[in-house]
Structures are given as C-alpha cells and as structure tokens.
C-alpha cells in the first residue's frame, strides 16, 4: 500500500470529534483493515481479508463498549441514577445533567421580581471570579414591621430603598437582592478592608435619610454587616450565609456597621450551643433556685428572700444568669422556665411557713416576656392555691424597664395582683431613666436600689445623691426601699444612716439553698452582729424605732 493511501487514512482517522484514544483506535482499525485487505488481494485469499476485518471489528467494538460502560457508570454516579444497565444509565444521566445545566443558566440570569436586582447566583459567581474582597449586607430593618400592617407600603419602600442603593453605588458595583429585605454589595479586591468599612459607614448614614411615599415620610432603619472573604478560606455561599445569620441575630440594638469575623462567629456559635443545652436543661432538672436573704434592719430580722435562678450544667458546670437568661428570652423559653421558678419558689416558701419560720416572703422575678401573657395573674393565683401559700408571702419583682415598657398593661397587671393581695417590687431602680409619670401610675410596694449605686456609696458623691433621692422619693410615696448588692460594712452603715432599712447582699449572706436559708434565719446572733452599728448609729436606730 502506497505512502499516500496510508497518510489519507491516518488523516481521516484523526478528523475532529471524539477523544484522542477513540480517534487513535479508529485510525488503527482503519489502517489494519487496509493492510489486511491489501494482503488478502495480493495473496489471492479474500476469506483471509474478511476474517481479519471481522476480528478487527469485534475487538474495536468490545473496547469501545467497555469504555462507554465506564463513562456511563461515572455519569450515572454524578447524576445519582440508580440502574445497572449502562446504556439506560447513560441516557438518564445525560437528560438529568442537561436539565441541571439549563436550570443553572436560568438562575444566573434570574432577577428579583420586586426590585429587578440580580439574585444570589451572579453575586456568588462574581465573588468566585474575584477570589477575594468584602461582602456587605444592607438590611431595611423595619420591612417586616411595615408588612404587618401595610404590605403594599412595605413593597414600595423596599423598591425605593433598592433604587437608592443602586444610584448611590453606580453601575460598576454589583448589588444583589439576596433575601426579603437584605441586599448584598460586593466590594472586590481593589477596595481594602479598612476603606470598605468607611464606605459602608457613609452609606448607612446616607441610606437613613427620609423616604417619601405620597404625603407620608418614612425614616428607614438601616443595618449593615460585612465580612472579608477569600477563596482560600471558605466557599462564598458559606460567607453569605454567615453574614445573613449575623443580621438575623442582631435585629435589636442601635443601628451601626458591624463586622462579621471569626470572633463574632465564635460568639454566635457558643450562643447557639448554649441555647441547645438550655433546651434540655428543664427536662433534665438542671435548674435550681438559690435564696438570698432580705434583711429588715429596723426590726433586726430576716423578712424573706429573693429566689435567684441558677443553671448547673453537667458539662459546663455552674453558669452565670447574665449569660443564659438573655438566651432564654431570645429563644422563647423564658415563660416555661419562669413558671417553673414560680412553682419552685412557692413550694419552698410553703416549707418555711409549715416549719414556723415566721412571716417570711419569697420574691420571684417576672420578665417582660412573661408580662405578655394575658393569664399571668391567673397562673400566679393557681400557683398560690396549689402550695397553700398566703398571697402576702409571695412578692413579684419587675425590672423598671419592663414595667415602663407598656404602662397600660403594667397598670392592669398591678391592679389584678394587688386584688389578690400580692405585693410588687421594682427591681434595678434607677437604671432605666425612671419616669415620674410611670411611678405615679404604677402602684408598687417596694423600690430596690440597683447595686451600681450601692457600691462604694460612702465615698462616691454621685451615688450618694442618687441614693438619697430614691430614699426620699420612696418615703414620699409611702413605700419601702431596699438596697441590693450590699457587700461591705461601710455601704450598709452609710445607707442605714440615711434612712434605708431593708438590705440584700453578700455582706449579710450569699444566695443559699433552701435548707441553708432556714439555718441562716435561725442564726439570730450572727445577724445581730452584722446589723450592729457604732454608738451614734445605735442611738439613731433606737430613735427611728421609737418614732414608728
């Protein structure tokens, strides 16, 4: 066979189409067939040529079938096709992968129906292309509140807000509508992280300007969270999800630009783990109450105790209420735990009464979330009846901010509780920028001076002025005043000298278990020693008692 024929056959075998091994196999088969046919004709034996052609065809068919079976199996695995037939798997996998590719192309072109902005996919594609940069989330925080009473207004406001963002940034910046009221802004690698934060702070300020809707003027509440993203650290989807989660968990508080980094992610991770542990704490009997004695210095006796919630987790140990109570409130578990604490405190106070410990009352804290219950007074009444406890032996404590949040609601609750004979105390007084109109409207029975004004009161002029004002206010309203957080003798002496007669704090006793509290009540000598004053103070104390 001439060199020209061979070259033409090889060129034909390597025409475009197919992989290199497939083209090589086809070229080799054609070359072998040509050689065999030429040899058969030259030797005068055509059956040899036919046999060689048949063998070549069979071998190439088996090789190709084996290779196609392998390709079909791989495609079937990628498309999650469950069949053992290679050709059926190849057909199904091809159809499925084609559908997925078309869906991906559709998503890349998708725009939000309300604002017309791109959705997540173009944003993620740009991030992957740039490899690094700052991702910012701009939220219209009051969108859901608007939806609650005027969905059409909320939609118009959101469209206007989106248009304001795009006008402010220009066409060169990518803005995507990634969630109901959240817009993502991508600042690529050309913008340093420090400069990006400054730009976002300026944007948040400008976006907070009033928006017009007809004759109505709206002042939007704008929140901005941002994080630096690098392709070598995590997927862009993970960073977007992390910043969105940060927006959801910081829905309250002052509007500002917040950076989402590993530290904030670690804090949120720990908070989530704490919440998961809390969900099983009540069922596993991990909560307990401690009782901190409340002292009536004028009569020289223990008047009762405040029930304080404690959490003893088997793995974490004793956890501070400052850490877990806010999590209970945000997770919606405070009502259930608060009801448990009310029952446990009334059960313990019933023991004091049956053991003849005198007229001891127990004070139980009620959170602002519990005030939302319309049947709160009914629950309290049933709890008293269940434990055969006189109403005067239970005292309800509310923080000043909780009581003043809804004066009308608090006034109705106070009236109902007073109708049952239950006294009410205002806790942490002085920390909530006390409203005199609220004090006049709410008929409570005791004011508790917050410990920040009690600490070192004998040396701090500002604390002295505040404490004296609160004591005078309570005297004018005809209610009792209790100083909490008393830890030193000097603090007790100063407050006692200036008219405060009720105390609570480590100077007298830390929070105690129920049995230890009963022992403390019986130890009259130790209490008298704590209450002792110098000769001048004793004379003042005696004069006050005679004046009563």
Find the CATH number of the domain harbouring 290. 3.20.20.450
pLDDT of residue 1: 43
Domain co-membership, 292 together with 432: yes
Residues 500 and 405 in one domain: yes
CB–CB of 386/407 below 8 Å? no
Q: What is the pLDDT at residue 8?
A: 46
Q: How far apart are CA 34 and CA 49, in angstroms?
A: 9
Question: What integer pLDDT is reported at residue 27 of this predicted model?
Answer: 59
- My answer on whether 411 and 497 are in the same domain is yes
Q: Which of 229, 260, 291 is the last residue of a domain?
A: 260
User: Among the three residues 211, 229, 260, which one is the final residue of a domain in this structure?
Assistant: 260
Range of the domain at 161: 110-260
Exposed e or buried b per residue across 79-92, where buried means at least 16 C-beta atoms within 10 angstroms of its C-beta: bebeeeebeebbbb
Sorted by sequence, the CB contacts under 8 Å of residue 373 that are 6+ apart come out as 335, 379
CA distance 36 to 204: 81
Residues 238 and 310 in one domain: no
Number of domains in the chain: 2
Q: Establish if 463 belongs to a structural domain.
A: yes
Question: Is-contact 454 484, C-beta < 8 A?
Answer: yes
Asked if 511 and 542 sit in the same domain, the reply is yes
79 Cβ neighbours under 8 A, 6+ residues apart: 92, 93, 96, 97
**pLDDT at res. 16:** 40
In a domain, 18, yes or no: no
Q: Is residue 485 part of a domain?
A: yes
CATH of the domain at 117: 3.30.70.270
Same domain flag for 329 and 390 = yes
Same domain, 344 and 458: yes
Q: Residue 436 domain-assigned?
A: yes
Q: Do 146 and 232 share a domain, yes or no?
A: yes
Same domain, 379 and 443: yes
Q: Are 436 and 469 in a shared domain? A: yes
Residue where a domain stops, chosen among 260, 291, 310 = 260
Q: Are 108 and 125 in contact (CB under 8 A)?
A: yes
Q: What is the pLDDT of residues 113-172, one digit of tens each?
A: 899 999 999 999 999 999 999 999 999 988 988 888 899 999 999 999 999 999 998 877
Does 167 share its domain with 291?
no
Task: Tell me the average confidence (pLDDT) per consecutive run of 10 residues in the chain, 548 residues long.
Answer: 43 43 56 63 62 67 68 66 66 69 57 91 92 94 87 93 92 90 94 91 91 89 92 90 80 60 64 86 94 95 96 93 88 90 95 80 90 86 93 89 76 88 86 61 86 94 93 90 95 95 96 95 92 64 52
Q: Is the domain of 205 the same as that of 343?
A: no
């Amino acid at each position: 066979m001439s060199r020209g024929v061979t070259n033409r056959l090889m060129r034909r075998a390597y025409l475009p189409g197919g992989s290199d091994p497939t083209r090589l196999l086809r070229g080799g088969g054609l070359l072998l067939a040509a050689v065999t046919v030429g040899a058969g004709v030259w030797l005068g034996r055509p059956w040899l040529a036919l046999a060689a052609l048949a063998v070549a065809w069979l071998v190439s068919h088996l090789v190709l079938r084996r290779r196609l079976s392998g390709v079909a199996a791989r495609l079937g695995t990628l498309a999650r096709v469950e069949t053992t037939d290679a050709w059926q798997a190849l057909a199904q996998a091809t159809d499925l992968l084609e559908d997925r590719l078309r869906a991906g192309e559709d998503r890349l072109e998708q725009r939000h129906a309300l604002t017309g902005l791109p959705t997540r996919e173009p944003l993620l594609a740009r991030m992957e292309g740039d490899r690094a940069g700052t991702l910012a989330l701009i939220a219209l925080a009051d969108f859901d509140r608007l939806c609650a009473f005027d969905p059409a207004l909320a939609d118009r406001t959101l469209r206007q807000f989106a248009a304001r963002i795009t006008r402010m940034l220009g066409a060169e910046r990518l803005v995507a509508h990634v969630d109901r009221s959240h817009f993502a802004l991508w600042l690529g690698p050309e913008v340093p992280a420090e400069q990006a934060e400054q730009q976002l702070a300026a944007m948040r300020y400008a976006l907070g300007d009033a928006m017009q809707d007809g004759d109505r003027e709206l002042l939007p509440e704008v929140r901005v969270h941002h994080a630096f993203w690098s392709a070598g650290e995590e997927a862009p989807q993970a960073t977007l999800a992390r910043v969105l989660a940060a927006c959801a968990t910081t829905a309250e508080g002052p509007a500002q630009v917040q950076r989402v980094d590993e530290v904030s992610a670690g804090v949120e991770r720990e908070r989530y783990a704490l919440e998961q542990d809390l969900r099983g704490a009540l069922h596993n009997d991990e909560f307990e109450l401690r009782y901190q004695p409340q002292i009536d210095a004028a009569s020289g006796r223990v008047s009762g105790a405040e029930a304080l919630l404690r959490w003893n987790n088997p793995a974490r140990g004793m956890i501070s209420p400052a850490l877990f109570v806010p999590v209970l409130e945000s997770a919606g578990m405070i009502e259930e735990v608060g009801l448990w604490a009310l029952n446990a405190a009334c059960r313990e106070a019933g023991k004091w009464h049956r053991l003849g410990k005198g007229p001891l009352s127990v004070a139980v804290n009620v959170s602002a979330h519990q005030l939302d219950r319309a049947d709160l007074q009914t629950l309290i009444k049933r709890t008293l009846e269940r434990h055969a406890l006189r109403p005067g032996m239970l005292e309800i404590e509310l923080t000043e901010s909780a009581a003043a949040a809804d004066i009308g609601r608090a006034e109705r609750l106070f009236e109902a509780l007073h109708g049952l004979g239950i006294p009410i105390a205002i806790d942490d007084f002085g920390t909530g920028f006390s409203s005199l109109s609220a004090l006049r409207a709410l008929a409570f029975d005791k004011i508790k001076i917050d410990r920040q004004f009690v600490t070192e009161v004998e040396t701090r002029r500002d604390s002295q002025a505040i404490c004296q004002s609160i004591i005078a206010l309570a005297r004018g309203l005809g209610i009792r005043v209790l100083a909490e957080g008393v830890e030193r003798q000097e603090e007790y002496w100063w407050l006692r000298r200036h008219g405060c007669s009720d105390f609570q704090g480590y100077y007298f006793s830390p929070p105690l278990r129920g049995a230890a509290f009963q022992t403390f009540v019986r130890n009259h000598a130790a209490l008298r020693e704590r209450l002792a004053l110098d000769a001048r103070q004793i004379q003042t104390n005696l004069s006050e008692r005679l004046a009563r």
